């Protein structure tokens, strides 16, 4: 009987520790704007936790974030890209000032990720590479035998920042899937 009580006590301690650990991790992997994310991802059948992983990687959910390369908002979209996305989406009256609006930033970012997923046959590595380094760079890498043996898949990514970005988004996505 004593062994059973001890085992039960250890199970309770383990459960509390796991819960506390999960709670702590959720602090570092928040799901802010989840309703806005879901509203947009439902249209394109994209995993909302992937978008959360991108936002966490890009801006750590800081809606006023601006990068050194002038990417803005939660999903770190550059003005030229935002203007192009808005035009493609048929949004009239769009101005670069609205990039920091979380609803608009997420709407544009999700649409753009969907566009890239289609452009790269739903290959997440290529899509994330293009989101980070640009479509033109990824196309050039695909055409270079030093980076792509088959003209499609990338064996090597020449930008260390982009390679780290892809790994970070994928790792964050796995953590989000585990937590939520």
Nearest to 163 by CA among 134, 139, 128: 128
Torsion over CA: 59, 29, 25, 129 (sign):
negative
DSSP 8-state symbol, 97: G
Residues 6+ apart with CB under 8 A from 10: none
58 is catalytic: yes
* Three-point CA angle 176, 178, 180, nearest 5°: 60
Distance CA 75, CA 61 (A): 8
**Active-site pick, 42, 58, 63, 155:** 58
Catalytic residues, by residue number, are 58
């Amino acid at each position: 009987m004593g062994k059973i009580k001890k085992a039960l006590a250890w199970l309770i301690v383990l459960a509390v520790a796991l819960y506390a650990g999960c709670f702590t991790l959720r602090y570092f992997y928040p799901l802010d704007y989840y309703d806005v994310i879901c509203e947009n991802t439902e249209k394109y059948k994209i995993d909302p936790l992937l978008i959360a992983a991108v936002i966490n990687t890009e801006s750590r959910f800081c809606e006023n974030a601006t990068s050194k390369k002038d990417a803005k908002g939660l999903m770190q979209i550059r003005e030229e890209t935002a203007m192009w996305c808005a035009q493609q989406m048929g949004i009239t009256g769009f101005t670069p000032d609205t990039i920091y609006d979380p609803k608009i930033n997420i709407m544009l970012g999700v649409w753009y990720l969907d566009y890239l997923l289609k452009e790269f046959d739903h290959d997440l590595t290529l899509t994330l590479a293009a989101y980070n380094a640009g479509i033109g760079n990824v196309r050039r890498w695909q055409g270079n035998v030093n980076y792509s043996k088959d003209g499609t898949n990338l064996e090597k990514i020449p930008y260390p920042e982009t390679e780290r970005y892809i790994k970070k988004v994928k790792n964050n996505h796995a953590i989000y899937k585990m937590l939520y």
